[in-house]
Amino acid sequence: MPLRKMTHGSSCLQNRSNCSQIRYPINRLIIEEGIRNDPVVIKILKALPGLSPEYIKNEEIDFSCLNHDTLALCRNKGRFLKPCPGTKEYLCCLYQFLNIGLNCPIDCTYCILQVYLNTNALVVYVNYDDLLSELGSEIMKNPSIIRIGTGELTDSLALDPLTGISLVLIDFFSRQRQAYLELKTKSDHIGDIIDLDHQGQTIMSWSLNPQNVICNEEGLAASLNDRIKAARRCQERGYKTGFHFDPILLYKEWEADYESVIETLFRNVDFRFITWISMGCFRFIPELKPVIQKRFPKSLIVYEEFIPGLDKKMRYPQPVRINIYSKMALWIRKRWPDAFIYLCMESPEVWKASIGYAPDDNLTLKSWLDERCRIR
């Protein structure tokens, strides 16, 4: 099937009037007054014909009072591109985050956004031309490879059938040679992007967990099988793929369940198209625990043994984390001996004890991941 070549900027959206359905409830639509004629806004309005929009001046929108089922469309007046908020206590890959909006409709029990943001609403930034202008400027100024992802403050694809932002970004990155886009998701919303001419500059990534964890802790996420099917379809269209076991959750049957996920993954995808696999155990700031207990009283994830880490986040004890990573790496390498595995926000000591190697510093880790991006 031929790949679809897109045109630059917001014009990518003009001929896409039919929008795929999303599985998340949206019962209220708020739009910044000054953008009612924006093409992105018009596209979203067509996709949500049953909602009557409320037009409010930007300075009058009280985001702190909005609920989870509210979609707010506005302009981002700040910067879109920001470095990963890593910590000096643990290794960081020097990733760059592109903020396309705020909040995630999937609503996982463990999500840090529950205490990190000042709103429960789904906020979508519609000034795509400003976003692309900033991206182009930053890439021009930076001579080294830049890895950019959209999955820090929202899921990369969860709202894509409404917003179409990934079409715009994949088209933009297809013309870059030193910048790579990673779209990390727990959804299977790939229908609009599957046949784009991505030129190998976009990495489609999925966060993976056992199906019972997905059912109990990952809200409205796609099933494990649907995520893996979506990954396989992307591989068949020449996309590089990544897989992130993060957060890994500890519970009685974790070993059998996570090994089963790895077995299912490698039975259904082509490892030659896997750029990287990351691992990170469940960790959280102390303020998140009472929020989980109140919002998700049936969840048991905060009742394991935790200790404060060097970054003040609550973590499983180091020997427990090493045991988890070691076994996960063993199961992965059993099926793909040359797998490139890295750890998220862990110390060199944990790296070496778990997977047998560690980068000397953040710049070394960055260079490893940059090199993985280059592989065709």
The answer to whether residue 263 is domain-embedded is yes
Tell me, what CATH number does 280's domain have? 3.80.30.30
Q: How long, in residues, is the chain? A: 376
Q: Does residue 174 belong to any structural domain of this protein?
A: yes
**AA letter at 106:** I
Residue type, 249: L
pLDDT at site 21: 63
Q: Are 33 and 75 in contact (CB under 8 A)?
A: no
Q: Rank 15-19, 21-25, 71-75 by mean pLDDT and report only the highest.
A: 71-75
Does residue 35 contact residue 75 with C-beta atoms inside 8 Å?
A: yes
Rounded distance between C-alpha atoms, residue 101 and residue 76, angstroms:
8
Amino acid identity, position 319: P
Which secondary-structure segment (H or E) carries 71? strand 70-74
- The confidence score (pLDDT) of residue 85 equals 81
Q: How confident is the model at residue 62 (pLDDT cuts 50, 70, 90)?
A: confident
pLDDT at 301 over 80: yes
Q: Indicate yes or no: pTM above 0.75.
A: yes
User: What is the average pLDDT across 230-248?
Assistant: 98
Distance, in Å, from the CA atom of 340 to the CA atom of 249, rounded to the nearest integer, reads 22
How many domains does one find in the chain? 1
Residue 247: its H or E element: strand 240-248
Which of 235, 234, 174 is CA-nearest to residue 199? 174
Is residue 4 one of the residues assigned to a domain?
no
- The pLDDT tens digits for 303-324 are 999 999 999 999 999 999 999 9
State what percent of residues in the chain have pLDDT above 70. 94
Taking all residues of the chain, what is their mean pLDDT, rounded to a whole number?
93
pLDDT (tens digit per residue) in 175-225 = 999 999 999 999 999 999 999 999 999 999 999 999 999 999 999 999 999
Residue 3 is assigned to a structural domain of this protein: no
The answer on pLDDT for 13 being more than 60 is no
13-27, 120-134, 179-193, 323-337: which has the minimum mean pLDDT?
13-27
C-alpha dihedral, 8 to 9 to 12 to 15, nearest 10°: -120
- Model pLDDT, residue 7: 39
According to DSSP, the residues that pair with 342 across neighbouring strands are: 278
Query: How many CB atoms within 10 Å of residue 282?
Result: 21
The H-or-E segment that residue 229 falls in is helix 224-236
* Exposure on the CB side of residue 129, measured as CA atoms within 13 A: 6
Please choose, from the candidates 162, 145, 128, the residue with its C-alpha nearest in 3D space to the C-alpha of residue 46: 162
- Segments forming the whole domain that contains residue 308: 9-374
Question: What value, to the nearest 5°, has the Cα angle with vertex 220 and ends 217 and 223?
Answer: 80
Looking at the domain assignment, is residue 65 inside a domain? yes
Round to whole Å and give the CA distance between 234 and 227. 11
